[in-house]
Each structure stands twice: as structure tokens, then as C-alpha cells.
Amino acid sequence: MTIPHLTGVHPAWLPPEAFVAIGSRRTLIVADESVPAGTVRAEVADACARHGGALVAPGEAADLVLALTSAEPLPPAARAVAGPELGAEGFLLARRDGVTVVLADDPAGLLYGFFEVVRQGEAAFGAPRPAEPYRPALRRRMLDHWDNIDVHPVMGQVERGYSGGSIFWRDGVLREDLSRVRVYARLLAATGINAVGINNVNVHASEARLLTDRLAEVAEIAAEFRPYGIRVHLSVNFASPVALGGLDTADPLDERVREWWARTTDRVYAAIPDFGGFVVKADSEGQPGPFAYGRSHADGANVLADALAPHGGVVHWRAFVYNHRQDWRDRSTDRARAAHDHFAPLDGEFRDNAILQVKHGPLDFQTREPVSPVIGAMPGTRLAVELQVTQEYTGQQRHVCYLAPMWSEVLGFRFWGPDGRAVADVTTSGGLVAVSNVGDDPYWTGHPLAQANLYAFGRLAWQPSLGPAAILDEWIGLTFPGDGEALRDTLHELMDDSWRTYERYTAPLGVCFMVRPGHHYGPDVDGYEYTQWGTYHFADRDGIGVDRTRATGTGYTGQYPAPWSEVYESLAECPDELLLFFHHVPYGHVLHSGTTVVQHIYDTHFAGAGQAAAMRARWAELDGSKTVGAALHARVSELLDEQVRSAEEWRDQVNTYFLRKSGVPDVHGRRIY
Ligand code: GCU
């Protein structure tokens, strides 16, 4: 195997410099050639060829030893630090007597250990340190691509994609040169990702056929991911037995349907023995599902789970099910309730290899939502939390919006109070999934700084307790090696708080949406107010917000266990940032912060737009920096111009809207239109 190095594509967090520490040393690898151990050998050989080091044989002096615990005999340096079981994908890192040791129980652990040494660079070869075990907190760490084969007339090729076309398909066919996919796999493995869904959850006609007569394309893509320990998953159409199999039903309890799924799945595994499984969006936004046959979502998921079980595969069944044809006049239907209403009663009915994939919030990847109550309501079900690395509602990769702080809050949320388990603990057997932000753009993610979100997602999925600023620091060090403190400081200043900055100039206090319908970019306060989508803010001359209390509203607060059912119910206790998600309040309502709701709206919108302008000014000072390079600097500068423009548009539309509705002037007399 050779390590691909692309020209014309940004190296992201694996530039050649990232391999200097390893590549300039003498490394002993004690493992067979099985995948991905063979990859580690190829990586080290490639790094040594570039930086002057060497792979050495057992018995020769080495600076770095990478070994499987099953190796016989274990080299002395490894034997000296070997300890308790490390488990699947885990590894141990130690430094003793001038030798750095990585030990793993399986080849995947060796791969992750190798990339940990890459991440630490010279520091991995410094002072002695005791053996430290590293284990992934979550079993499945997955990115979902919403890629289509064809260009969809409304959504484009990548649904909610802001980085160009698909890296898999072009002009309706699989790309001939898939080396970019291999490089992508390498980047993902370096963050800890071990699964990728390759196609859109809205499965259109051509993409449905990836399951059957276009399966060879999936096999080719899987071959690119395999060396880096990543299994490929496929989004499938629940009605495939009808659409592809010629049956007159897709009823999950019909024997012919069960057989069709079993047979079809057998063929998938014959072509791709390490295939990961299926992803399904059913009975959601027009996709077919079990409701058509009067069956439950557990029935639907289980027929696929049973087909996958003999092969060790899993089905990711999405909980994003709600009425998308609501009448805005109907105040009794609350979209936020839908997933819990549908799924919580089914707890315990899903097969063990069915994973319920739940969006982190009850609505739809908004800048600020409470954590979905489904995650705390299904102890008898394997749960995965779904995030959006792609910035559909958070600036569409035109705005700097570092999302790790939001994800950390979600993963650290404790449904049962400070002594209870966190979201990250509830999802250990299911995992963490996110919609990818990658396309065929030379920077991978459109906005070069959006690479940090992709990096951070993988790192948090591996270890949810990592701090967002520390992850960003790693990313900066790897991506811009040798650029020194000035760049590091600038990027922290731009990015650490950028999610909250974005929140300040967009929809206030957890009220959600207020975006342009359809494409979801830019402000439109009433854009969704009279639509079918169930996303309303109910602003009138007196106040704003959605009453989701049990006492007087939709009762959504009752989907949480105590203490949150009480905290969210209570106007006095509800956190400011979620106030309008849970309560309808007058504009003069005083927040915990001491200011009124309407004054808070004015203040945060002026502040947020001001911060965007400050970010641009700060970035401009960097001109001429050596590793950032002129092209990347120019791309970010252009995007910051757009961010500033858009933030001002948000500020002025939101502030003007509320001034006109409420008639309450800004106490500081600033310009509102
Ligand atoms: C959002 C998004 C859609 C997507 C859907 C989903 O509503 O706008 O493009 O299909 O989420 O997660 O299924």
C-alpha cells in the first residue's frame, strides 16, 4: 500500500510536517500485515522516506515501538510497559529508557496509537512517562454524507452541502479516481472516526440502487476507507422491496419482505464483508416507512436489523419523525414533542443491532435547542446522537462558527441532575453520528476554518470530555505547524466563542429558525411563521416565544425527567438561553441577566455584529503569515466579508422587527430602522 499525497488539495490536519517527529526516527513495528496494521507500516515507511528515519527489525535499536500485545515475542520495551487489557481500538502509550511504546490489542488500536503519536509530535519523544491507556468512549464514531449521485434540482448534489460536489460521484457515475476518498479516510482516522454513511438519507431513485445493481460502487468506496479502519454504511429506501424488488408491499411483517431484505443484505456482504449497515429515514418528510402498513418503527427497524444480524451489521434508524404538513393555525401540535411521542413508547422493542439515531435537539440542528428528551427516555434501546458538522443553520460554512462548544454542552448534559449520567454515557453503545461538511472543494470544507469542526467532531466522539479550546489548539498546531503564537492567539480569538457570536446575531433566546425558508441562509423573522413546518415563534405586539409548559402550553416540558421537567417548566428557573423555547413572555420580561427580553435582543444583535466585524479586523492583521499562506488567507478574508455583511443584515432585520412589533425603543438609542 502507498500513502496518497494529493496536489491541489489542502492537507488539512495532516501536512507533511505532522510526520516529522515519527519520520525522522527509528521505528520497530511488531504486527502482521492485516488491515489496518499494514497501513501503519506503510505510513511509517512513507514518513521515514520523507524525513530520514527508518523502519528497523526486531533486535535493532528503536526510538518508537508499535506492537500488538499478541506479538510473540514482545520486544523488551513493550514487555516492560504491558498491563491490563486495552480492548477493541484502544492502545497504550508510554515512554521509558528513551523508547516510545504504543501497544494495542488489535490492529485498529495500533492505527489510533500511531495517529496519537502524530498528534503529539516531538512531545511523544520527550521526558519519560508512565503507560497511559487510551480507549474510545463511544463504540461507533460516524460521519453521514448527504451525497447524491445525481445533482438534485433543489438540493444540489450534496444536500445541505456547502463545499462543492460529492467526493464519491460526479456526472452521475462513481469518480474514476478515488484517491481523494483515501486521503479523506486518512484524515478521519487521525481523529478517531470509524464509520461513514456515504449517501443522503433522502434516498432518490439512482441512489436507491446502490443497494442492488450499483453495489459495486459501494464496494469500491469501501475499499478506499478500509485501510483506515472505517466501515461503510448505506442509506436505504424503506420501500426498496417495492421499488427495487418488484414486490407489491414493503410491510415489515410480510414474510416475502423479510426474505427480500435478508437475500439482498447477504449479497451486500458477499461484495463487502466488513459492510457497516444501513441508515434509514422513514416516515419523515416524505420518505416511505412502516406507518403505511400500520406497523411501528420498531417493526420497521427490526426487519432490517434481522437481515444484518448474521453479518454483524447494524441499522441506524432515525428518530426524526414529525408531521411536516402541519396547519400553522393548529396550536395543539408541537413539533418538538414528535420524536418522543413516537419513540419513547417503543423502548425495549428494538433489536440489539438496531440503533436509534436521535438528533441532538427536538427540532432540527438549530443554533440553540435543549437536548432531545428522547435521549433520556429509552434506557432499553441503543441510542446514537446525531449532530450536524455541516453548518446548515449555523452559517453554511460562510460564517466562522466553531461548534465544539455546543457539542460539548450536549454531550455533557445530565438528564437526571448533576449526579446522573451524561448524554455521552447514555450513548456509549450506540455512538455519535454527524452529517459531514466535506465536498470536493480544495479546502475540503469550503471555509478553511470549518475543517476545525470536522476535526473536533472526531475527537469528541473518541473522548467527549475533551475541552473545545484544547481540541482547537490541537487542530491549530497540526494544521498550521510552526506558525507560532500569533496565529494561535488569533485563531482562538476568532473561533473559541464564534458559536455564541453567531447565536447573538441570529434567532434570540432559543426561539429557533427565523431563517430564509428553503435554503436556510440569512434572516427572515417570519419566514416560517405561517408554513406547514411546525416551527413558529408566535411574536405579537406584546411578546414572543413558544409555551411548551405542562401548565398552559403543549406539555413538552413533561418529556424530561426531574429536575429538568421542573426547571424548564418554571419561568423563574428556565435558563435565559432557552427561555423562548419553553415560554411565551412579554417583551418586558426581565431575564436572569437583569435586562428585558427586548433589550437583550437589541444588545446581543449589536454585540454579535460588532464581534463579526472585530473578527474580520483581527484576521486582516495576519496578512503575510507564512504557513497560512496567501490563498487561504484570501479565502478566509472573503468569507469574513460575507459574514460581516450577513451579521449586519441579521442585526438590522431582527432589531427592526422587534422595535416595530413592540414599540419599545432601545435604551441606548442606537440606530434601528
Ligand atoms: C433537515 C434538513 C433536510 C434533511 C433533514 C433530515 O430538515 O433541512 O435537508 O433532509 O433535516 O435530517 O432528514
Mean pLDDT of 218-236: 98
Residue nearest (by alpha carbon) to ligand 1 atom 1:
364
Residue 607 lies in a domain: yes
Positions marked catalytic: 285, 364, 392
CA of 451 to the centre of ligand 1 (A): 22
pLDDT for 535-544, tens place per residue?
999 999 999 9
Average pLDDT, the chain: 97
Q: CB-based contacts of 361: which residues, under 8 Å, 6+ apart?
A: 369, 370, 371, 372
Q: Are residues 542 and 426 in the same domain?
A: no
The arithmetic mean of pLDDT across residues 65-71, rounded, is 96
Is the peptide bond between 36 and the residue preceding it cis, with omega within 30 degrees of 0?
yes
Mean pLDDT of 14-21: 97
98, 212: one domain: no
Q: Note down the domain range covering 596.
A: 503-546+584-662
Q: Could you report the per-residue pLDDT of 250-294, keeping only the tens digit for each?
A: 999 999 999 999 999 999 999 999 999 999 999 999 999 999 999
- Regarding whether 207 and 127 lie in a shared domain, the answer is no
Q: Is the CB of 182 under 6 A from ligand 1?
A: no
Does 310 share its domain with 397? yes
Domain-ending residue, one of 119, 134, 149: 134
The residues facing 94 across adjacent strands are 101
Q: Is 364 in the pocket of ligand 1 (CB under 6 A)?
A: yes
* Terminal Cα distance for the chain, rounded: 63
Residue 648 lies in a domain: yes
Instruction: Specify whether 179 is located in the same domain as 206.
Output: yes
Report residue 487 as a C-alpha cell: 496565529
The pLDDT score that the predictor gives to residue 626 is 72
Looking at the structure, tell me whether residues 427 and 516 fall in a common domain: no
Whether residue 78 is found in the same domain as residue 221: no
What spacing in Å lies between the alpha carbon of 527 and ligand 1's midpoint? 17
pLDDT tens for residues 183-224?
A: 999 999 999 999 999 999 999 999 999 999 999 999 999 999
Q: What is the mean pLDDT of residues 331-350?
A: 97
Complex ipTM > 0.90: yes
> Is residue 623's pLDDT more than 80?
no
Model confidence at 627: pLDDT above 90: no
For the chain, how many structural domains are there in total?
Answer: 3
CATH code for position 187? 3.20.20.80
Q: Ligand 1 pocket test: which of 320, 357, 436 has the largest number of ligand atoms within 8 Å of its C-beta?
A: 320
User: Do 128 and 240 fall within a single domain?
Assistant: no
Q: Is the CB of 281 under 6 A from ligand 1?
A: yes
Mean pLDDT of 233-243: 98
DSSP string over 514-545: -BPTTT--SB-TTTTTTSSSS------SSEE-
Which residue, judged by its Cα, is nearest atom 2 of ligand 1?
A: 160
The pLDDT value given to residue 439: 98
Q: How far is the CA of 635 from the centre of ligand 1 (A)?
A: 28
578 within a domain of the structure (yes/no): no
> Quick check: CB of 515 below 6 Å from ligand 1?
no
Give the CATH number of the domain where residue 107 resides. Answer: 3.30.379.10
Phi, psi angle pair for 544, to nearest 5°: -155, 155
Interatomic CA distance for residues 501 and 646, integer angstroms: 13
pLDDT for 322 beyond 80: yes
Same domain for 525 and 461 = no
Same domain membership, residue 464 and residue 354: yes
Residue that terminates a domain, selected from 87, 118, 134: 134
Does ligand 1 lie within 6 Å of residue 144's CB atom? no
In the predicted model, what is the mean pLDDT of residues 548-571? 98
Co-location of 306 and 421 in the same domain: yes
Nine cell digits for residue 13: 490536519
